Amino acid sequence: MTAALSQSAKTAISNVRQAEIESTVAGLKIFLGKSSWVGKNNYYAKDTISRLERATPATPQHKRNLAQYIAASVTLHAKDGWSYLGRAVGCILTGDTHRALHLAYYAELRAAMSLLAGFGIGIFNNQHFIVQQANSATKLCSGQGTHLMAWLALEEWAQMAESRDAFAELIRPDSYSLNQWFQSQGGAIAVAPHAKEWFMQWGMDLRLVTKDRDARNESSYRPDGVPVTWEANAAACLEFVRDMWGLLEPSTTSSFEQIDRHILRLSIEQFYFGSTGKQASSGDSKFEKLIDRFLTGLSLQPSAKRRIKRFLCRQISPADPLVFKYSSRVPSNIWEDSLAVVSRALLLLRLATGTAHRLLENADINADHLAFWWKQLGESCGIWPPGHPPSELHDLWTDVQDSLVELAQVESRDPELFDSFSGIALELARELSVLASHERVAIWSLCPS
């Protein structure tokens, strides 16, 4: 029998409004000033699951405490997702795609939990809660476990207009939201089919696990080597990671400029196909006229419009990044499956992180308020020496850029070195460490300036 949400749970999810969790996030500011995400007497700060299992929050204080816990988890689940992703990438760089698949799945799960919490839906263990009023959590009628509920809630939420609107506002290539880019075509409404499709695609592994729990157990609990040992191609794995980091380079105005530009291009192409039944191409005059209409409504310099049009028409950077190519693949190949799950986790984390960032920004919470957290995180992860945090968070990209430059130089000197994981590890140990430190992405992208 196919698992499904009860009608009461569907109704409750359809009634959540981000304004309520936004108000709850704003209330965390007093705790942040004391170097804590929640109050020291928050009932759910410790033994969270066991306390929820013992009793549903019944008093105003307990309801408030749980709502604040959910509000804090928006940012913290996103950070944990980036940590899992970094560990998965570290495994890919050593050829351990078995462990990479396991860790990447949990990165995707945490991304979904962060995104849902960002709209007031708290996923726990068999008992789940929603924030329907500011600073007050209510039990959601659902007995599903964490993994199943994360998918079912994401699937239900993706049907809502609020999810469409959120997607259209979060993706902001060249400082304009998708809603603004598509204004001449109806704005967020025109984006809606693509937004829903991407939510479902990027959360694909949560759905697959709910249908076949054995798939996750195979990676989590079964020994590698029966029937065969998982293998990977060293050069292909390294190329995937290099390409992935190229997508994560921040700009002065956005932490995810490159990802957002590619989402824009794919969205416009999908819109054109849906309208005409034809694949977009730069030689198609109708498609180029559509691009011109998109650009006309935006206050961009002529040089910027020319650059963007060339990109949208695939005259520059014509190929889609590997992350987008792998993200649409269903499980079929043992070593490529790990790259596919990493890709989906990264894209879902982009949305979760953007949601968390916007909530913090709207609550007037910035990097200074969060310094107690991100400074300790950076030191604990070895991103910088104790007592020497970066003056600007986007400066954390410099280490990645230097590592990518070093990789290119080593490749030009000795291309055969990249044919084995041993050669890569012996020659590029420091660079591999940097390229698996995705906590730095969490730091620069979650904290408003």
More confident position, 188 or 439: 439
Q: Which stretch of 14-28, 322-336, 364-378 has the lowest confidence by average pLDDT?
A: 322-336
Q: Which stretch of 30-44, 283-297, 351-365 has the lowest confidence by average pLDDT?
A: 283-297
- Residue 59 has what pLDDT? 97
Residue 427 has pLDDT above 80, yes or no: yes
pLDDT, averaged across the chain: 92
Name which of 89, 187, 211, 109 is nearest 154 in CA terms: 109
Assign residue 277 a region (left: φ > 0; alpha: ψ between -120 and 50; beta: otherwise): left
Residue 27 has pLDDT above 90, yes or no: yes
Provide the pLDDT confidence category of residue 351 given band limits of 50, 70 and 90. very high
- Residue 217 has what pLDDT? 59
Q: Is 224 exposed, middle or buried (0-12, 13-18, 19+ CB in 10 A)?
A: middle
* Chain segment 128-167, per-residue pLDDT in tens: 999 999 999 999 977 788 999 999 999 999 989 899 999 9
Tell me the DSSP string of 256-273. Answer: SHHHHHHHHHHHHHHHHH
- Please tell me the pTM assigned to this model: 0.95
- Residue 309 has what pLDDT? 95
3-state class of 128 per DSSP? strand
Q: Is 405 exposed, middle or buried (0-12, 13-18, 19+ CB in 10 A)?
A: exposed
- Residue 1 has what pLDDT? 42
What distance in Å separates the CA atoms of residue 262 and residue 5, rounded to the nearest whole number? 34
- Residue 212 has what pLDDT? 46
- Residue 332 has what pLDDT? 74
- Residue 2 has what pLDDT? 62
At residue 127, what are phi and psi to the nearest 5 degrees? -125, 130
Residue 227 has pLDDT above 90, yes or no: no
